[in-house]
Amino acid sequence: MKTLAKIVEAIVGCLVLALIVLRITGLNPIGDTPGPGNYPGLWLSGEVVTTPVTDWSFASQYKTDKVQTRTWYLIPHSVTTGHIFHDGKLYLTSNFAAGVPFPEGKSWVKNVMRDPHVRLKLGNSLYDCVLSHVDDPDERAAVLGPRAKQNPQLVASNATGGPVLHLFRVLPQ
């Protein structure tokens, strides 16, 4: 029994040490385009910006962003997402294929729907924010309007049976 206790203690100690190292070094998601070929990460690394952002227009210079969500098991989950800048506001995007249930189809979206507090990374800067799922069809149409001319699927609803692009408005914390 003493041997089993020592083995369990060693395993727990190694896990705690690994988590401490990962917390210090961060573990950013791998990949710069949302979708296949990307790997999720844990804690995002970078410089925390504490001043509130009133105009997100600077985000247009970045093709993608990284978002860190809070999991129920207390270890962060971070992914690469796309974003849209519209009328001074920033919106994160998440494309759900036909038949994929919302929000269960993506871990990060499920986390956001449970706890909307996130950390957003643009460049090397980190912003603590709150995400709000956009349900209003008028707001969706306004944000997606310029893109809908090129791809009408963007404004499709769940009723069409096709892919659905979900929007999350970025709000200050």
Residue 7 inside a domain? The answer is no
Alpha helices in 41-119 (DSSP H): 107-114
Average pLDDT, the chain: 85
112 HSE (CA, 13 A, CB side): 29
Residue with tokens 């990374």: 121
The residues pairing with 122 across neighbouring beta strands, listed in sequence order, are 125
Read off the DSSP letter of residue 123.
Answer: T
pLDDT of residue 160: 61
Catalogue the long-range contacts made by 47-51 (C-beta closer than 8 Å, 24 or more residues apart).
Answer: 47/124, 47/125, 47/126, 48/125, 48/126, 48/128, 49/125, 49/126, 49/127
22 is a domain residue: no
Domain presence at residue 153: yes
What pLDDT does residue 97 have? 85
Exposure of 95 by Cβ count < 10 A (0-12 exposed, 13-18 middle, 19+ buried)? middle
pLDDT score of 126: 96
Q: Are 166 and 96 in contact (CB under 8 A)?
A: yes
Question: What pTM value is reported for the model?
Answer: 0.82
pLDDT at 168 (0 to 100) = 97
The domain containing residue 132 runs over which residues?
29-172
pLDDT at 158: 45
Q: Residue type for 15, please? A: L
Asked whether residue 139 is assigned to any structural domain, the reply reads: yes
Domains held by the chain: number: 1
Residue 23 within any structural domain of the chain: no
Half-sphere exposure of 110 (CA within 13 A, CB side): 10
| Maximum average pLDDT range among 22-26, 54-58, 147-151 | 54-58
- Is 20 a domain residue? no
* Interval 80-107: pLDDT, tens: 999 999 989 999 999 888 888 889 989 9
The answer to the question of residue 45 being in a domain is yes
Instruction: Judge whether residue 30 has pLDDT over 50.
Output: yes
Query: CA nearest 107: which of 134, 73, 88, 79?
Result: 79
- Residue 147 sits in a domain whose CATH number is 2.30.110.10
DSSP labels, 55-77 = --GGGGG-S-EEEEE--TTSS-E
C-alpha Rg value of the chain to the nearest Å:
19
In a domain? residue 17: no
Per-residue pLDDT at 135: 93
